[in-house]
Amino acid sequence: MSELVETIMNDNETTKNTNKNTNKIKKKRKILELIIKDETKIVDDTNIFKNIKDIRENKLMDINFKKCVQGYHLCNSSSINETMWEDLNGIVFSSSGIEMYSKSDGSHLSGMDIDCSLGKISNKSAKYSNNKKSMDISSYRLTTVCSEKKCGTSTEIIEEINKRKNFDYYSFIVRDETTSSENISYDWLLIPSNYIILDPSSYNWEPTIGKRGKNKDTQVGWNTNEINGCKMSITFSMSSQLWIHIEMNEDIKQFIIATVEVKNKPICNYIDIFHKLC
């Protein structure tokens, strides 16, 4: 890249008053800008993956995740949902040396939930299916770009999804309730938001056509091809909500940060906590 920069500077000195050569310089500068942009993205992606590797090797993060989930279930029998996960995830981060800047505090606005020194985070919760082989993540409602009244285009859908993606990582807490009737196990995954199976532009989008009833032969949504078993879909009758189907292959398992199994038998309630601490 340094050779290209030197060439541009030399051209600029010797031909700056010539229209033809000025256009040539502009073209080279545009190429340079694209190269710099690509190299910056590579550096950013490298840093993101390095951050995940560092977190996986951070024993304190693993310990605090286990403590946080176990602490929650000391007085709660309901599984951890998306809103609660934002609070717990924030506690895990702040207790492990990650500086917290802000949280959405349960806001229903799409996009970033946590802003911290690690990066911007979107929190999601899900339940394993098919014996922990897959999960389905609910995401944005896309009625502004596609619906029964206006089906939209794949380009509009991709642009809208990426426009709302104002964060660096997805932080998933995924539960499995099939191990026993008394226990719940949780996996915590931290995945780059632009990872291939989470990037809508990675897929080929096709209309979903109804096969029966009043919607027969009518477009009822959108669906994609599969990438390593993963895919995306949108159903108009479900508020045009985006769903992401993720197969738990080895590529995805590399993003598991921590795992814990807890007894789903609370031993206290909030009144007990008040009397003990206040």
- Which range marks the domain in which residue 36 is found? 1-57
Residues 223 and 138 in one domain: yes
Give pLDDT tens digits for 149-205: 999 999 999 999 999 999 999 999 999 987 677 899 999 999 999 999 999 999 999
**Residue 274 falls within a domain, yes or no?**
no
Q: What is the mean pLDDT of residues 58-67?
A: 93
Strand partners, 114: 103, 121
The Cα 57–Cα 51 span in angstroms is 10
What is the model's pLDDT at position 30?
A: 53
**Residue 210 falls within a domain, yes or no?**
yes
Residues 146 and 234 in one domain: yes
Q: What separation in angstroms does the CA of 191 have from each of 103, 107, 212?
A: 19, 22, 38
What is the model's pLDDT at position 52?
A: 77
User: Which sign does the torsion angle of CA 105, 112, 118, 246 carry?
Assistant: positive
Residues 1 and 135 in one domain: no
Ranking 7-11, 144-148, 238-242, 272-276 by mean pLDDT, the lowest is: 7-11
Residues 226 and 154 in one domain: yes
Is residue 127 predicted with pLDDT exceeding 90? yes
What is the model's pLDDT at position 272?
A: 93
Is residue 4 predicted with pLDDT exceeding 60? no
**Residue 161 falls within a domain, yes or no?**
yes
**Residue 93 falls within a domain, yes or no?**
no
Residues 124 and 255 in one domain: yes
What is the model's pLDDT at position 2?
A: 47
**Residue 79 falls within a domain, yes or no?**
no
**Residue 108 falls within a domain, yes or no?**
no
- Secondary structure of residue 116 in the 3-state scheme: strand
231-235 vs 134-141, strand pairing mode: unpaired
Q: 147: pLDDT confidence band, cut at 50, 70 and 90?
A: very high
DSSP letter at 76 equals: -
Of 57, 81, 100, the position where a domain reaches its end is 57
DSSP letter at 211 equals: -
Predicted model pTM: 0.79
- Secondary structure of residue 56 in the 3-state scheme: helix
Shortest CA distance to 89 belongs to which of 56, 117, 113, 54? 113
Q: What is the mean pLDDT of residues 199-215?
A: 94
CB 207 within 8 A of CB 175: no
Is residue 33 predicted with pLDDT exceeding 80? no
Structurally, the chain folds into a number of domains equal to: 2
**Residue 112 falls within a domain, yes or no?**
no
Residues 158 and 49 in one domain: no
**Residue 10 falls within a domain, yes or no?**
yes
